[in-house]
């Protein structure tokens, strides 16, 4: 829809359409509603219980007034005063909503309402007359013949018979038809959306139908904001009013543009939220929290609930468009404030990822319980307390997992994620305080994190790798080659040169026994936080119980989006293959996961073939140091100190 053209929007009861004239242009398909769809509509209307100021929504009826010589039509077509009145109402091109409009017409006909509205299909000559006579000839041979000769008439006739059957089954219920008729005429309403005369109806139709993008709450609400009648009395000069409309339209576009940035959007939302106009998110929050204090009782529960909330506001005695738009901007500015603040971005983003409702965070930010503003630091303190609540089940770093379903390793996922996030915060603070003076050099990318499924992965595989397959043995050996003495290097070279499988196994076992004696991990030791990290599900499932060095190579490849091959040993020289030119499946690797496989936390590199207990201890210490302010403890250190 155009940004600054003034589209008319209002709620219009079915009774208000009586006597109007509608035209279905040739670019639309014909009437195609099935028996099921007709019955669903009838049952929905029947089950709707009207209350004060409540109405059943038939969704938008998008129309454009046809500019034609009305007086010429009156002269040529009008045979009575009633027809003159109807022609003076003009003709309306139906751009969207014709299926429901036609079905409502059929229901009106079945209820015996003689003064309906007219519907004429451009591509179906005689459609107006067929509909006008459908109640008189529904059972006649002529009607049956016409229905069989024309696919549109066939569906119309079938739909009418469905409506007839519905009322026949209710004929023993006293006053049923009268009650249904009254409800239909007065409590069943379309959202009347009249596009500006300068808009191209075919473009609008294509947008709404071919792309399967429905008219959104935002577009309906925008029409309310830009409607001249909602800017108060006529005392304002036209130029001032026009500038105010342009200002709102411009600010609207800027908000939508920012929300369309996935980094910003996925900081606040989940990837499954694919609404085409994202400013709807703000409108939904305003409705949910009744921020305009208009009440939510009569807004319904369907997809246009939010529009009706704003519509009800603009229909109050003294609607203030300035206050309403400031409320929209206030919500957006809150999100901007969170997004642009280093700590708030990470802490709020973490809480949202952990399931915290944005409404709750907004309430805290505005201190709605006490109705007195709080400072940003006070808000941060409250947010940190909320984070502590999320960590309640995994505060002890010595906790044993995988004992039963209540101690599943997934229980420590909140802690692992927070370690990543606080690591990023600390790195930023160090850069800010260093000679670089950079306030924010890297943010945790929630938009990437949310696009993956995450496993709590064992760093040292839960099931021990027997290291019997040749590829594992090769990777193990090349990782120790450079640090081995000359004699051991000769044995490793011999392993690569021989083709005899038995000799290979013998050499490998001999080398391994003489070079390294890895301390065994117990099952209990493997299922503590020091042996867990976050890894995307596809990577985790791809390498099974591979040795540490193999996992390291695969993860680095995923991070770079390149295939990284195992180095080769030939004629006593290591050949490091270049990363393949073709792209490989890539994935976001969380910073802590990357640090683990680079042995970032260990004071010395040690053995790259294994995740040792020394590495694990250093990793656990970093978690403790990083997350101490959140109440994280290590009960094992308390035991050791006794």
Helix, strand, coil share (%) of the chain residues, nearest 5: 55, 10, 35
Choose the weakest-confidence range: 70-84, 239-253, 389-403, 489-503.
Answer: 70-84
Q: Using the predicted structure, report yes or no on whether residue 424 has a pLDDT greater than 80.
A: yes
Domain ranges (residues) in the chain: 8-215, 228-392, 470-641
**16-34, pLDDT tens digit by residue?**
999 999 999 988 888 999 9
In a 3-state reduction of DSSP, which class is residue 3? coil
> 494 vs 219, which has greater pLDDT?
219
Give the SS3 label for residue 399: coil
107 — pLDDT class (breaks 50, 70, 90): very high
Q: Which H, E and C letters describe 17-68, residue by residue? A: HCCCEEEECCCCCCCCCCHHHHHHHHHHHHHCCCCCCCCEEEEEEEEEEECC
**What are the C-alpha distances in Å from 459 to residues 405, 469, 522?**
21, 20, 14
Q: What is the pLDDT of residue 476?
A: 67
10 Å CB burial of residue 233 (0-12, 13-18, 19+) is exposed
Residue range 564-591: mean pLDDT, rounded: 69
Sign of the torsion angle spanned by Cα atoms 95, 97, 101, 102: positive
2 neighbors 217 (Cβ within 8 angstroms): no
- Across 9-13, 84-88, 427-431, 629-633, the highest mean pLDDT is recorded for 629-633
Cα separation, 121 vs 31, in Å, equals 9
* 130-144, 269-283, 363-377, 444-458: least confidently modelled range: 130-144
Cα–Cα separations (whole angstroms), residue 370 to 103, 185, 221: 52, 46, 31
527/409 Cα distance (integer angstroms): 7
- Per-residue exposure over 152-162, b if at least 16 CB sit within 10 Å of its own CB, e if not: bbbbbbebbbb
Q: What is the pTM of this model?
A: 0.78
Name the burial class of residue 461, with classes exposed (0-12), middle (13-18) and buried (19+) by CB atoms within 10 angstroms of its CB.
buried
In the predicted structure, residue 2 carries a pLDDT above the cut 60: no
Asked whether 384 and 630 are in contact (CB, 8 A), the reply is yes
Asked whether 460 and 520 are in contact (CB, 8 A), the reply is no
Provide the pLDDT for residue 462. Answer: 64
Residues 297-315: tens digit of each pLDDT: 777 778 889 999 999 998 8
| Average pLDDT along the chain | 83
């Amino acid at each position: 829809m155009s940004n600054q053209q003034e589209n008319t929007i209002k709620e219009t009861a079915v009774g208000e359409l009586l006597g109007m004239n509608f035209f279905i242009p040739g670019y639309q398909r014909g009437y195609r509603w099935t028996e099921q769809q007709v019955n669903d509509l009838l049952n929905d209307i029947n089950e709707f219980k009207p209350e004060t100021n409540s109405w059943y929504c038939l969704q938008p009826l998008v129309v454009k007034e046809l500019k034609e010589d009305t007086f010429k039509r009156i002269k040529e077509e009008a045979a009575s005063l009633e027809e003159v009145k109807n022609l003076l109402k003009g003709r309306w091109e139906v751009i969207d909503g014709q299926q429901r409009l036609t079905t409502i017409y059929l229901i009106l006909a079945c209820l015996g309402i003689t003064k309906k509205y007219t519907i004429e299909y451009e591509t179906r000559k005689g459609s107006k007359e067929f509909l006008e006579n459908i109640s008189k000839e529904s059972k006649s041979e002529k009607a049956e013949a016409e229905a069989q000769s024309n696919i549109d008439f066939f569906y119309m006739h079938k739909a009418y018979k469905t409506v007839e059957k519905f009322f026949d089954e209710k004929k023993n219920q006293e006053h049923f038809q009268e009650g249904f008729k009254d409800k239909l005429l007065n409590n069943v309403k379309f959202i009347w959306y009249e596009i500006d005369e300068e808009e191209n109806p075919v473009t609008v139709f294509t947008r709404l139908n071919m792309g399967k993008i429905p008219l959104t709450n935002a577009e309906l609400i925008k029409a309310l904001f830009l409607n001249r009648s909602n800017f108060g009395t006529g005392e304002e000069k036209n130029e001032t009013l026009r500038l105010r409309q342009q200002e709102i339209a411009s600010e609207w576009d800027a908000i939508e543009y920012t929300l369309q940035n996935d980094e910003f959007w996925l900081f606040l939302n989940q990837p499954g939220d694919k609404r085409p106009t994202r400013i709807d998110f703000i409108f939904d929050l305003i409705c949910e929290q009744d921020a305009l204090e208009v009440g939510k009782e009569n807004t319904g529960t369907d997809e246009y609930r939010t529009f009706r909330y704003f519509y009800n506001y603009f229909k109050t005695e003294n609607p203030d468009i300035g206050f309403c738009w400031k409320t929209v901007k206030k919500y957006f500015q809150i999100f901007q404030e969170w997004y642009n603040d280093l700590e708030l971005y990470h802490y709020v983003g973490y809480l949202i990822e952990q399931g915290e409702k944005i409404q709750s965070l907004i309430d805290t930010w505005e201190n709605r319980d006490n109705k007195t503003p709080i400072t940003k630091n006070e808000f941060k303190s409250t947010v940190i307390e909320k984070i502590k609540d999320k960590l309640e089940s995994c505060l002890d770093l010595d906790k044993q997992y995988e004992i039963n379903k209540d101690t599943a390793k997934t229980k420590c996922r909140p802690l692992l994620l927070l370690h990543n996030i606080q690591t990023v915060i600390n790195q930023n603070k160090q850069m800010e305080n260093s000679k670089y003076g950079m306030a924010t050099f890297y943010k945790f990318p929630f938009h990437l994190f949310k696009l993956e499924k995450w496993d709590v992965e064992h760093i040292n595989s839960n099931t021990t790798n027997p290291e019997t397959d040749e590829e594992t043995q090769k990777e193990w050996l090349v990782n120790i080659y450079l640090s081995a003495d000359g004699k051991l290097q000769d044995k490793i070279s011999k392993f690569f040169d021989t083709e005899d499988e038995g000799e290979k196994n013998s050499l490998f076992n001999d080398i391994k026994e003489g070079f390294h004696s890895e301390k065994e991990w117990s099952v209990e030791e493997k299922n503590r936080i020091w042996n867990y990290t976050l890894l995307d599900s596809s990577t985790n499932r791809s390498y099974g119980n591979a040795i540490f060095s193999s996992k390291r190579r695969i993860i680095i490849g995923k991070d770079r989006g390149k295939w990284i091959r195992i180095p080769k040993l030939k004629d006593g020289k290591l050949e490091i293959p270049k990363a393949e030119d073709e792209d490989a499946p890539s994935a976001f690797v969380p910073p802590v996961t990357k640090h683990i496989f680079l042995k970032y936390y260990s004071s010395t590199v040690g053995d790259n073939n294994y995740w040792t207990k020394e590495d694990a201890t250093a990793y656990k210490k970093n978690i403790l140091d990083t997350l101490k302010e959140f109440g994280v403890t290590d009960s094992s250190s308390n035991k050791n100190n006794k």
